[in-house]
A and B are shown apart, each in its own frame.
Chain A
C-alpha cells in the first residue's frame, strides 16, 4: 500500500492540475513523487514581474505533517531568500500547518515575492536595499528576472500557466 505521504502527493498533484492557481505550476519529477519541480511567475506590479522562477520541492514521508524543503533553482534576489535558494518563510518552518498543500505553498511563496519581510532577512544586501534604496533593489531584481529567462531553454511544457 502507498504511504499517506505519497497518496497525499498524488492528490496534491491532481488538484494542482484541475484547479491551478494563477501564476504557479508544479509537477513531480518523472521518477520520484517525493521531488517536484515548480515554477513561479513573478507577480504583476512587482519588480519580479515577467520572471519565470524555477524551484524544487523535496518531501519526506512525514509530509503533510512536516513541511517540504523548498528552494529556488533560478537565481533569486530577495530579502527572504538565502544564497543557496532556500527560503525563509514562517509557514515552511515553525508555522507549518498540515492543512497546507503544494498549491498553498507555491501561492505563499508568490506572495512573499510581492511582500518581502525585511525583518527576518536571509539576504542582508537585498533587505538593506529594499529598505533604503528601492531603485537599486529593483535594478538588481530586474537582472535576475532577465537571468530567469535564460535557463528556460531546456524546459518546455511547464510554462503555459497564465498570469492572472
Chain B
C-alpha cells in the first residue's frame, strides 16, 4: 500500500480505489455496529471512557437526567437515523402528535416536487417513508418497529427522505439560510454536497431545518472535551420544549431517553 502513494500512475483510476477503500471502511463499521442498538445503560457507555475523567463526569451528569440510551451506527447518517427512530418510537407510545405529523409528511412530497425535485424519484422515497409511518399508525409492536427501522434498505430510504425534507426546507428558506452556508456556496450547492448525499454528517444547519420543517423540537446534549462537569444543552428551536433528545459526542449522535 505505502509505495503506491509514491508512484502516481496517471492512467490508473484512483477514484475507484478510493471508493473501494471507502466501501471497506463502511463494511467494517456496518459489521460492528447495528443501525440502532438495543437500550443501553450509561454504565455501559462509561466502559468506553475508562481513563477519561471528564467524560466520566459528564456521563454521570447524563445519568442523573436520563434513564438510558441507544447508540446508532457511525455512518454519517446518525443524526437522521437517531431522530427518526426516537420520534417514531415516541409516536408509537403516545400518538397525540401523530395526525399533525402525518399531514406534514403526506404533503411534503408535493412541496418537494413544487421546489423542483424530480417527481419520479421523490415518489419512490416518499412511498417507503409513508409505509413506515403507517406501520406506526397501525400500532405495530415496539419489536416490529425495531425490526422495520433496522432493515437497512427501509431505514436508508427513510434517512434519504429526511435528508430531502431538509434540503427542501433549506432551499425554500434560502434567504435566511444563505448566511449559514460556508465556503461561498449557494444554498442549492450546499444541499447537493452536504445534505442530499448519504453519509454526509449533519451540523446545526441540518438540525435547524429539520425541526422547522417537521415541527418537532430537539434537545441535543453536547458531551465534549470542555472541562465543565456537565454536558451543554442546546434546544432546537431555541427556548422550545423538546420532544426528541439526542446525545452528541464529537461527530456522532445517539438517542437519549428522559
- Which A positions have Cβ atoms within 8 angstroms of B? 3-5, 8, 11, 15, 61-62, 64-66, 69, 82-84, 86, 88, 93-101, 104, 122, 124
Contact = CB atoms under 8 A, between A and B. Distances in A.
B48 interface: no
Given A4-B157, A95-B192, A99-B117, A82 B122 contact: no
B224 to A, nearest CB: 28
Contacts of A82: 11-13
A82 B19 CA distance: 15
Interface range for B? 20 to 34
B230 to A, nearest CB: 38
A97 B192 contact: yes
B226 interface: no
Contact of B15 (A11, A88, A96): A88
B193 interface: yes
B11 A15 contact: no
Nearest to A92: B15
A88 to B, nearest CB: 6
B120 A4 contact: no
A83 B196 contact: no
B183 interface: no
Which secondary structure dominates where chain A touches chain B?
loop
A96 B195 CA distance: 11
B164 interface: yes
The 9 closest A-B pairs by CB, nearest first: A4-B153, A97-B196, A82-B13, A99-B121, A98-B160, A65-B198, A65-B156, A86-B13, A83-B11
Contacts of A104: 118
Given A15-B120, A86-B16, A93-B15, A99 B153 contact: no
A101 B11 contact: no
A11 B124 contact: yes
A99 B16 contact: no
B85 interface: no
A98 B121 contact: yes
Interface string B1-13: 0000000001111
